[in-house]
Structure 1
């Protein structure tokens, strides 16, 4: 792992963040999108954010994001936002979340699996193009 800035990942992070904001504000009435798709995409946001500043093994990063996501979700079971003193409606209360859900755990896992497959496909394409002169 080493520090290295990537404009490509910064732009992807900004794009995914804007999609998340769109989901939270404009598409909030579409249940499937708000309830599930946002949680699938948020792990991708975390991935691109870290890759913006750090060169790191993709599999380790994806596994770390999955574990982190699970920990945050399980912390919600214990009402960690309230215990930390964040008021309902505050930014940190919203970021940490306030209700545990097994469905969210599943969405994080699906997001990480999709991310893993995308990264693997990208590496396979790179290997194939490098071997074909």
Structure 2
């Protein structure tokens, strides 16, 4: 693991973050987008954010993000935001969340799988270019 700044990943992070804000504010009425798509792309947001500042093994990072996401979800089961004293509607209450869902964990897993497949396809394309 090495610290280094990547403008490419940082710009992707900003784009995905703005997409998440759009989903939470303007597309909240579209159930599929709000309930599922936002959870799928939040793990991609975490990936691009970390890659903005750290160069590390992609597989380990994706696995770490999945574990982290599941831990946050299980913390919701125990109402950790309330126990930490965050008020409903506050930024930290929203970030931590307040309702556990197995479907959310499935969405995180789907997002991590999409990341893994995207990286795999990118690596295959690079190998084809080198072989040509």
TM-score, structure 1 normalization = 0.98
- Deviations for 1:38-83, whole angstroms, at most 9, x for unmatched residues? 0000000000000000000000000000000000000000000011
Aligned length: 132
Specify the alignment match of 1:109 in structure 2. 109
Residue 16 of structure 1, CA deviation: 0.4
Residue 111 of structure 1, CA deviation: 0.5
Residue 130 of structure 1, CA deviation: 1.3
Q: In 1, distance between residues paired with 2:93 and 2:125?
A: 41
Specify the alignment match of 1:78 in structure 2. 78
Residue 128 of structure 1, CA deviation: 1.0
Specify the alignment match of 2:49 in structure 1. 49
Specify the alignment match of 2:39 in structure 1. 39
Structure 1 vs Structure 2 CA RMSD:
0.5
- Deviations for 1:69-122, whole angstroms, at most 9, x for unmatched residues? 000000000000011111110000000000000110100000000110001111
Gaps in structure 1 of 5+ consecutive residues: none
Residue 127 of structure 1, CA deviation: 1.2
Q: In 1, distance between residues paired with 2:37 and 2:97?
A: 16
Gaps in structure 2 of 5+ consecutive residues: none
Specify the alignment match of 1:59 in structure 2. 59
